[in-house]
Amino acid sequence: MPSPNVFSILVGAILAPSLAMAGPFPSVADPASPYAPLQYHSPFENYRRAPSTAVGDWRQANDRVREVGGFAGALQDDPPSRPSAGRDGAAGAPHTHQPGQNR
């Protein structure tokens, strides 16, 4: 295996002709350059802050969601005006599962 110095010399010998033919790189600041100058535009330059909205009472909002049957009830076209009865017929009763019952 060649030493790292030999490897560097070989790579330099291979790349030297192509780098020499490339010539000097034109400066972007030069007005005669064929390249357009770079321009930076911030993605936030046209940002407008959203108008603030009043935050309501969270307890009242939670009660309203419970009344319409949870978040899925609130998504219905015509949500019910009062809670629906559960399996045991008690409105708003918590759902409990005993071991061995199907969920």
Burial class (CB in 10 A: 0-12, 13-18, 19+), 73: middle
Q: Give the pLDDT confidence of 20-30 residue by residue, as tens digits.
A: 666 677 777 77
Contacts of 31 (CB under 8 A, 6+ apart): none
Name the residue ranges covered by the structural domains of the chain. Answer: 56-83
Q: What are 55-75's pLDDT values in tens digits? A: 889 999 889 888 888 877 667
Q: Estimate to the nearest angstrom the gap between the alpha carbon of 89 and the chain centroid.
A: 44
User: What was the pLDDT predicted at 47?
Assistant: 92
Let me know the angle formed at the C-alpha of 100 by 94 and 103, rounded to the nearest 5 degrees.
50
Distance in angstroms (rounded) separating the CA atoms of residues 13 and 2: 15
pLDDT of residue 99: 64
Confidence (pLDDT) at 8: 84
